[in-house]
Chain A
Amino acid sequence: MVGMEVAGQNSNIVSARDLGVVACTRCTQVWPAGTQTCGRCGSTIVARDRLSLQRVWALWLVGLMCYVPANMYPMLQTRTLLSVQEDTIVGGAVELIHHGAVGIALIILIASVVIPIGKFMAIAFLAISVKRPSSVSNHHRQVLYEVVEYIGRWSMIDIFVVAIMSSLVQLNTLAAVNPGRASLFFALSVIFTMLSAQAFDSRMIWDVRARQEGTTTDE
């Protein structure tokens, strides 16, 4: 039964649990299944983190909650001699487009809007696909997970820009750039989504296959 009816290219992939071993998630030492503690690094070894999905969803939710004010409140407060300008993330990008800086606007939009939202969607998709069968292959999902985990930190580029601007442009009354309230929420949102992505136990992607195969014989 095992490996015989595996569809596609993944037919030869065998999970560690199927082989009766378990790997330490920290030092990758493989131990026989049932080992409670890693003999090398001492970390707790579990074959599958049963609370993983709960953590993912909880952190994802907090990240999403933070993302709402991050977009509603101004990200950057630019105070010049004559005026105080407060721009939200999207508003600032739109303004940049109006000023002709389409490239920068696109970077901001991608880094601050597209990527975070894509991350939310990807994590949600992965978390859902663990429980429910998906048309996307396990391999693609694994790639998606790795991309999400890798790219998540780059969302902090927005916070990075705000931090640099705020520290550099402080000319007292003439001009000053201060981080807006949204920057805090945005940073929290990025942090929580990253934690959420990390909380996801990618091994579960591969568990689905067995269940998949148990329920549906073929795709």
Chain B
Amino acid sequence: MSETPTPVSIEPARKSFFANASFVWIIPILALAIALGVAWQSYTDRGPLIEIEFENGAGIAKRETELRFRDVAVGVVEDVKFASNLSGVVALVRIDKDIAPFVDVGASFWVVQPELSAQGVSGLDTVLTGVYIEGTWDGDIGPAQSKFKGLKDTPLYRYGKEGLEITLRTTAGGNLTDNSPITFRGIEVGRVGKAHISQQGSFAVAEAIIYHPHSRLISDRTRFWDTSGFTFSVGPGGAEIDFSSFATLVSGGLTFETFVSSGGRVSDGKSFEVFADEESARDSVFNASEAEPLQMRVVFDESISGLAVDAPVELSGFPIGRVTGVSGVIDADAFGDERVRLNALIDIQPARLGLTDEVTPEAALQFLSRRIEEGLRARLASASLLAGGLKIELVDTENVSSYVVQSGEGIIPIIPSTSNDISDVTATVAGVVSRINNLPIEELLNSAIQFLNSADALISNEDLRETPKVVRALLGDVRDIVGSDDVQNIPAKLNGALGRFETLLAQLEEEKFTTQLVAAVNAAAAAANGVNASVEGVPALVTQLQAVAAKAESLPLDALTEQLTSLTTSADAILGTDAAKKLPEDLGSALNEINATLRELREGGAVTNINATLDSTRKAADAVAISTQDLPALVERVQQVLNQANQTIAGYNKGEVLSRDAQSALRDISKAAEAMTSLARMLERNPGSLLRGR
């Protein structure tokens, strides 16, 4: 009935691939496209690979170590490998594409590592992040290069630190610290690079850079010197300790100065010498200037010591020369009197005057002449308060008489002088010093030496040994006195006088001038009494002498020399007294007078003169009396002397010489005493003999 249609095999129409495909396929296709796109982009963005060869790895790590330019990462190390012959390490650095063209032949690379130096710490960040490679190149695109040689050290000249590149060379014996700063007025304006020793080994050479714009400070007259370390000096300028900065103290450093204004600009590659210190650097300028010094003279009115050869000559405090000679000059014609003036010869370096045009002595003279006409004068000034010394200052003065410098062939031009400016302190100190100088130290010393010599001589007993001689001489003197003819002749003369007196009396008897005779006789008797009285002490004296002699014989001789000395002097004094010396003379002269009177009387026979004669006789007798009155004093003194001698000799045990002398002296004294005694006895027995002359 119902018919189901026979199933028809339905063959679906063949659908196309895309009809069957799911839209989901878009996703992988898209992903692939994106991936490919990214890959392509990253490939095209990828910069070139460069090779940098270093001496060692120095912490370079692949895929970590960056290449930086001005502290911005512009690449990264992709690989680190050894150079072909293991001579180094090659870092393969992928650099950014946009920077790649600039990395040309002029590029240089170095590894930045942390560095701790006296100037400070550098590369501190690399402590944390590891080292990085720093590169420098200029802003111009040059010939491309892909293999570079890395630098061992940070180069001096790099982008952003441009400057004047110079070469520094040490002077003979000088030294140079590499990697040290070049400072100017304390500011770092440049840097010394790596130094190396020249082939001959005689000096060190280093590259250096003076950064712009400080490079304009450099001219071909610029001098560099070493400021490293410190110097301590004591000189005319006082004690000086000098170092420029702590950094240079530790690590060394250079500084420079352009001492003279004239000088041309320098270009890269100019070579400079490095001097040991500022002074030699300064000197070298003038040595190098090769200008003849200008010789001039200064005559100072007063001659003041302290100006020495080589003392500086300063103009406005700036040394422009030095003193080459100092002399005194006397020129009455030129100066009007004959005072000694100080004549200083000075050499002035024309280069130091800062002349801009030509540096010649003539120009310097012109310049100075002009200044002198305007009032420039020379004066002496203290070079240093402490150490003294003078220098010559050229100062501008006002209200001075105009002066025209005379110059010409063979004439040394003179710079007129003005009043000196020597500080009071110096003068005071100089005064004190001169006073100390004037102290008679030499004399004092001489006196002291003499004193000591005397003491030495005294102690060495020279005089003490002489003392016996002196005593002997003293006793000799005593003996001389006692044994002198005058004393010995006293009796004879008395005899003579009495004889003549007798003849006179005989004449007088005839003429019977008795009254006057009585007076005369009385006087004579008085005189005889005096003699008698004086002679009374003689025996005691003799006994004393004997005692002294005895003691002297028994006692030693070598002690109490001072007493002997004083004894000697006192004995000398006694014997030296006029009284003692005159005593015999008085006696003699009195008798002589009597003699002469009597002779006159006898010969002249002038009776009229008898009165006068008798007066004279009486006077003579008086004189005899006076003399005999003096005799006891003499005896007494002799006695004192002998007492003293006795006391002195009491300490003596030996001394035959002295005792012998003493004995002889005593013998003489005894003789004298005996003579006195006999005289006295004769007079005693026969006082009339004095009158009669028998």
Chain A interfacial positions (CB closer than 8 Å to B): 50-51, 54-55, 58-59, 61-62, 65-66, 81-83, 192, 199
Given contacts A81-B128, A82-B128, contact A65 B24 (CB under 8 A): no
A55 in complex: contacting residue of B22, B35, B128, CB < 8 Å: B22
B22 in complex: contacting residue of A58, A62, A66, A82, CB < 8 Å: A58
B457 to chain A, nearest CB (A): 97
The yes or no answer to B25 lying at the interface (CB within 8 A) is yes
- Interfacial chain A residues near B24, Cβ < 8 Å: 51, 54-55, 58-59, 199
Given contacts A81-B128, A82-B128, contact A65 B22 (CB under 8 A): no
Contacts across chains A and B counted by CB atoms under 8 Å: 38
Instruction: Indicate if the CB atoms of A51 and B31 lie closer than 8 Å.
Output: no
CA distance A66 to B130 in the complex (A): 33
Interface residues on B, range: 10 to 19
The yes or no answer to B27 lying at the interface (CB within 8 A) is yes
Given contacts A51-B20, A54-B21, contact A65 B32 (CB under 8 A): yes
Instruction: Indicate if the CB atoms of B27 and A58 lie closer than 8 Å.
Output: yes
A65 in complex: contacting residue of B25, B31, B128, B130, CB < 8 Å: B31
- Interfacial chain A residues near B235, Cβ < 8 Å: none
Instruction: Indicate if the CB atoms of A58 and B25 lie closer than 8 Å.
Output: yes
B600 to chain A, nearest CB (A): 153
List, sorted by A's number, 22 A–B pairs whose CB atoms are closer than 8 Å: A51-B21, A51-B22, A51-B24, A54-B20, A54-B21, A54-B24, A54-B25, A55-B22, A55-B24, A58-B22, A58-B25, A59-B28, A61-B28, A62-B28, A62-B31, A65-B32, A65-B35, A81-B128, A82-B128, A83-B128, A83-B129, A199-B24
- Interfacial chain A residues near B28, Cβ < 8 Å: 58-59, 61-62, 65
Residue of A nearest to B127 (CB): A82
CA distance A77 to B28 in the complex (A): 28
CA distance A82 to B128 in the complex (A): 5
CA distance A137 to B578 in the complex (A): 181
Instruction: Indicate if the CB atoms of A59 and B128 lie closer than 8 Å.
Output: no
Name the 6 nearest CB pairs between A and B, nearest first.
A54-B22, A51-B22, A61-B28, A58-B24, A55-B24, A62-B28
- Interfacial chain B residues near A192, Cβ < 8 Å: 27
Chain B interfacial positions (CB closer than 8 Å to A): 20-22, 24-25, 27-28, 31-32, 35, 128-130
- Interfacial chain A residues near B32, Cβ < 8 Å: 65
- Interfacial chain A residues near B25, Cβ < 8 Å: 54, 58
- Count chain B CB atoms within 10 A of each CB in A55, A58, A81, A192 and give the residue with the most: A58
B36 to chain A, nearest CB (A): 11
Residue of A nearest to B21 (CB): A54
B65 to chain A, nearest CB (A): 13
Given contacts A51-B21, A54-B25, A59-B27, list 6 more A-B pairs with CB under 8 A: A50-B20, A58-B27, A62-B28, A65-B28, A66-B31, A83-B130
CA distance A191 to B257 in the complex (A): 76
CA distance A151 to B48 in the complex (A): 46
B638 to chain A, nearest CB (A): 127
CA distance A46 to B20 in the complex (A): 15
B278 to chain A, nearest CB (A): 48
CA distance A199 to B27 in the complex (A): 14
CA distance A134 to B24 in the complex (A): 27
- Interfacial chain B residues near A82, Cβ < 8 Å: 128-129
CA distance A24 to B635 in the complex (A): 190
- Interfacial chain B residues near A65, Cβ < 8 Å: 28, 31-32, 35
- Interfacial chain A residues near B31, Cβ < 8 Å: 61-62, 65-66
- Interfacial chain A residues near B21, Cβ < 8 Å: 51, 54
A33 to chain B, nearest CB (A): 15
Residue of A nearest to B63 (CB): A86
B262 to chain A, nearest CB (A): 58
B58 to chain A, nearest CB (A): 18
- Interfacial chain B residues near A54, Cβ < 8 Å: 20-22, 24-25
- Interfacial chain B residues near A50, Cβ < 8 Å: 20
- Interfacial chain B residues near A59, Cβ < 8 Å: 24, 27-28
B27 in complex: contacting residue of A51, A62, A81, CB < 8 Å: A62
CA distance A61 to B20 in the complex (A): 19
Residue of A nearest to B26 (CB): A58
- Interfacial chain A residues near B129, Cβ < 8 Å: 82-83
B431 to chain A, nearest CB (A): 75
CA distance A62 to B25 in the complex (A): 9
- Count chain A CB atoms within 10 A of each CB in B24, B128, B129, B130 and give the residue with the most: B24
Residue of B nearest to A69 (CB): B35
CA distance A81 to B127 in the complex (A): 11
A177 to chain B, nearest CB (A): 18
CA distance A81 to B31 in the complex (A): 37
- Interfacial chain A residues near B20, Cβ < 8 Å: 50-51, 54
B388 to chain A, nearest CB (A): 66
CA distance A59 to B35 in the complex (A): 15
B11 to chain A, nearest CB (A): 16
Residue of A nearest to B128 (CB): A82
A148 to chain B, nearest CB (A): 19
- Interfacial chain A residues near B35, Cβ < 8 Å: 65
CA distance A138 to B437 in the complex (A): 134
CA distance A82 to B127 in the complex (A): 8
CA distance A51 to B128 in the complex (A): 57
CA distance A54 to B23 in the complex (A): 9
- Interfacial chain B residues near A58, Cβ < 8 Å: 22, 24-25, 27-28
CA distance A144 to B577 in the complex (A): 169
B35 to chain A, nearest CB (A): 6
A101 to chain B, nearest CB (A): 24
A98 to chain B, nearest CB (A): 18
CA distance A210 to B24 in the complex (A): 28
- Count chain A CB atoms within 10 A of each CB in B21, B28, B130 and give the residue with the most: B28
A77 to chain B, nearest CB (A): 13
- Interfacial chain A residues near B22, Cβ < 8 Å: 51, 54-55, 58
